[in-house]
Each structure stands twice: as C-alpha cells, then as structure tokens.
A and B are shown apart, each in its own frame.
Chain A
Amino acid sequence: MKVLVPVKRVVDYNVKVRVKSDQTGVDIANVKMSMNPFDEIAVEEATRLKEKGVVTEVVAVSCGVTQCQETLRTAMAIGADRAILVESAVELQPLAVAKLLKALADKEQPSLIVLGKQAIDDDANQTGQALAALLGWPQATFASKVEIADGVATVTREVDGGLETVALTLPAVVTTDLRLNEPRYVTLPNIMKAKKKPLETVKPEDLGVDVAPRLKTLKVTEPPARQAGIKVADVAALVDKLKNEAKVV
C-alpha cells in the first residue's frame, strides 16, 4: 500500500520569533527554517511501516514556496521514495492545504495519509481532520501508536486524561503526536541519495483548487510581557512573599 506524508517548512523550533514593528506578521526573513517536528515523526512512522513490509511506497508532499523542496529532500533522506511540491507563493491556510491534499489523494490513491498533529508556526491543529472530512475517511488524531493489519489501522491516541484506542477501516488519516516515535538522524549518504529521488512540482491551478486565504490577519502583536520578578534568598523569604505579597497560599 501507498502512504502520503504531508510535510511543512516552518521556522525552526529553537528560534524565538520576533513580531514585525508594523504588526503585519512575524519576521521570518533570514531565520533558520526546518521541517515541522510533528511532520518528521510522520515521515519516520511511514518509513518504519515500509521497513516492516506493510507499506510499499512513501510519497512526501509539501505545499508552499519553492524552498519547500529542501523540506521534501529531508523527507526523502529519512526514507520517502518520491516527493510532490504544490508550489504557491500565496499564504496557504489549513483549509486550502486540506483541499490541495485531497486533490493529490484523489490522484495518488494512497491507503493511508500521515500528518503531524499541528504545525508549530500557526498552531492550528486542523489540516489532518479537515482532509479526512473532505475525503470522507476516518481519522485518528494525536497518535502515539499505529498498527496496521488486514485493512485496519489500530491507533492509540493521546487524549485528555489518558489514552484511547480506535480502529479505522483503511483508507484513513492519522495525525502524529510527539511520542509516536523518535525520528532518525539523516545521514550524509542518505542525503546524497535523496538528491536523486524524483521531485515533481505542480500548481494549485493544476489541481483545480482555489487557495485564497479565508481568514484575514488584521494584525500580529507581541503578547503582553510579564512584570520582571525577583529572586528570593531562601525558602522562608519565598513563603513570606507568597503569603503576604501575592496572597496565593
């Protein structure tokens, strides 16, 4: 069976972003970009399924600017067999991405689509669910364990208060949580090999999808800053402050 793995190019998680002074967004010029950490987990999971012999082909997909090719090369260095870039300079919101992915899924006919649970830039946590809805497929979000046998994906999900297990009839959509796996390091030989793997580029128009943003961002501002605190000398001073100044105990 074939697996589709959508990956997103985002600001590296170690970078502390700054809001632009004109409040139009955050400053991402000259900032280090990487693959969204949850998507790395998704690529790793698809690759492991292939190594187990459950999956025959892993196709990585990214939607966005030309530089997303680097993200796709990383996915292929981890283990994806080929890649598709849906190239667009427009800001792509989750609904638009879900529609693009649906069009690709109609074409590629995968049995499973594995996405990250959220991207660490817009923190939306929507694309996987929206994609499942558009395809009319079942979904398992926030997965920490995936087992596939006899056309059924049995997925353990991280929910408030513990874990929950659901069984999905394939084809299905799964979104990854942090504890699903530990992504492997990409090695130099694999990076070299990834350069030779096929990368196809399409446009949203080719897929017949209108990607115009639906939500208008009016402004982006700094979060309210906390008042600078103090360091106390010892436990007695701390308890005194909590009781008499903050009055929280």
Chain B
Amino acid sequence: MSILVIAEHDNASIKPATLNTVAAAAKIGGDIHVLVVGAGANAAAQAAAQIAGVSKVLLADAAQLGDGLAENVAEQVLKQAAGYSHIVFPATAAGKNVAPRVAAKLDVAQISEIISVESADTFQRPIYAGNAIATVQSSDAVKVITVRATAFDAVAATGGSAAVENVDAVGDSGKSRFVGREVATSDRPELTAAKAVVSGGRGLGSAENFKILDPLADKLGAAVGASRAAVDAGYAPNDWQVGQTGKIVAPQLYVAVGISGAIQHLAGMKDSKVIVAINKDAEAPIFGVADYGLVGDLFQEVPALVNAL
C-alpha cells in the first residue's frame, strides 16, 4: 500500500500542516511519498525529503504550477495518482480547494477533515460544527482524504533521507489565471501552529480596542485570533477567524476575551489544552468549556493580567 501526501509549501519551505498530514499517513500505514507541486520549489522538495517517514519525494516544477491554481494542481495530482491507495491533503485552504477536484475525477467520495484513523478504510470526522463525530468507512479503491492538522501530532521535520525525483509537469489549463495576492503581514506566530492563542470577540467593541490584546499576546508569545462576530464587525482581519468556517486551532493555551462562545466559534478551539475565558457576562456559554473563567470587564482584567504575568 502506498500513500501520496500533497505538500503544503511556499516553494522555499514546507508548511507545518504537511508534517501533521504525514503523521496521519503514517497511521494509515504504508509507503509514504510526498508530492511537491510548485515553481522553483526545489528547496521545498529538499525539505520534504528530510521529513521522518517519507520514502520518496516527487517534484513537479513549472511556472504554471507556481500559484496553486486548482485546475493545474489537480491535474498534476491526477497524473501522479496511479498506484496509490490513499491521496492525502492537509485540510488547509489550498488542500480543500484541490482535493475534491481530484476525488471527483477519480469518481471516489472524498473524506473531509479526518481527526483520526481507525483503519486503512475507516476514519473519524467531525460534523455539525464539531457537535458530533462520524465514523465513516470508504469502499472506494482510492481514498482521497483531507487531514485536520490539529488532530495529529506533527512528525519530525528532519531525520528522513528520501530521494527527490523530478516528474513531468502538466500544462496550463488555460481556464484560470492568477491575478494577485494580498498577504496579511504579521510578525506573530501562525494561528494554526501557535502554542498559545489570544482571541478577541465582539466584546472588544472596535478595531482600536483590539490592540489591547497585543501586549498579552506578546507576553505569551501567542498568535491573535478573533471570533466571527469580531471579524464581521470589522474589528479584525478575516484570516484571524477561529471557528467552524474559519481556522481550527488546538494550542496549549487559548485565551478567549470578550467572546460569548457560539457553537461556530467553539468548533474551532474546543480541542485546546487549556482554555481561559474573560467575559463580563457570567452566563456566557464560553464558561461551559473554559478551564479557568474570569468574570469581569476585559478593559481592566486584560491589562492587569499582562502586569501579573
């Protein structure tokens, strides 16, 4: 049995979600190959070859593969698909974009955001915003899967010594064109990979007030997140959103400030190791999942907490 893992990378390096995805592949069991699709991505392929447990790296390198257009990437994956029993993607924006396209072309049912591997054909995945866990079995010849990164401990990024093999790139589909990218700049850790996350909700009241979280995040070395309400109100950029329809995080410490705790938000953070809630409403649902709750005015409690740390 051979497993093809599609790498998440920025051409120069491998993104952490790839390591969690390889961990899930290792649980399925079998020969693990990694496919790097990119432009000028030799460095990423070399990094992939170092990942523990990977036996081969396939590199498809061409200008038309550089911007991750779903049409081209899916074609490339399909070109490489023969002989693999499992094709596994990280459940990131890029992975979710491409995986169903590959599955449909193979005429198989894709399995989304698995959180555990029961056997080579049986997996667990959350449904209804994480309010229920479904155990599903696939009878398809090829299993196309996306992996929820926070549910699997990352494998070591070093220690492997796989060979890198260049494969022929597919041509440009001509149906779509990359126009541009607007990257939100941040010198904080990446939200999904951070050890600690400080999140703000509608209780913050304005984008200006959101800055009250910065000193706390600095003290904790934390990433800053936001609830959907805060994002919708324009207090925070949308790629900060933690929840069912945003990012799924599971840090060591999650501090929810001014967040009521709607189910859509809880779906994104309830697997955090320790949850702290600061809210003035003692009845807020967030206190139902918080390990430590502090009832009070966040504009006093947050600065006090920064001073006390």
Contact = CB atoms under 8 A, between A and B. Distances in A.
Contact of B292 (A157, A236, A242): A242
Interface string B222-263: 000000100110000011000011010000110000000001
Contact of B175 (A95, A129, A169, A232): A169
Interface residues of B, number: 88
A166 B243 CA distance: 25
A234 B293 CA distance: 10
B27 to A, nearest CB: 18
A164 B253 CA distance: 31
Contact of B294 (A13, A94, A131, A235): A235
A202 interface: no
Contact of B179 (A124, A154, A241): A154
Interface string B143-184: 000000000000000000000000000000111111111111
Give the bracket for the number of chain A residues in contact with chain B. 35 or more
A220 B247 CA distance: 23
Nearest to B219: A249
Contact of B129 (A123, A139, A140, A157): A123
B111 interface: yes
B305 interface: yes
A227 interface: yes
B136 A216 contact: yes
Contacts of B282: 231
Nearest to A96: B109
A229 B294 contact: no
B295 interface: yes
Contacts of A127: 100
B292 A235 contact: no
Contacts of B179: 154, 165-167
Contact of B180 (A17, A124, A165): A165
Which 10 residue pairs are nearest across A and B when measured between Cβ atoms? Answer: A129-B100, A214-B109, A130-B104, A126-B100, A138-B175, A133-B104, A165-B179, A138-B176, A229-B291, A133-B101
19 contacts: A13-B264, A16-B131, A93-B109, A122-B127, A123-B113, A123-B128, A125-B100, A133-B104, A139-B70, A139-B101, A167-B177, A216-B138, A218-B137, A222-B132, A226-B291, A229-B290, A230-B291, A235-B308, A238-B276
Interface of A: 11, 13, 16-17, 19, 26, 38, 93-95, 98, 117-118, 120-134, 137-142, 144, 154, 157-169, 172, 177-179, 213-223, 226-227, 229-232, 234-236, 238-239, 241-242, 246, 248-249
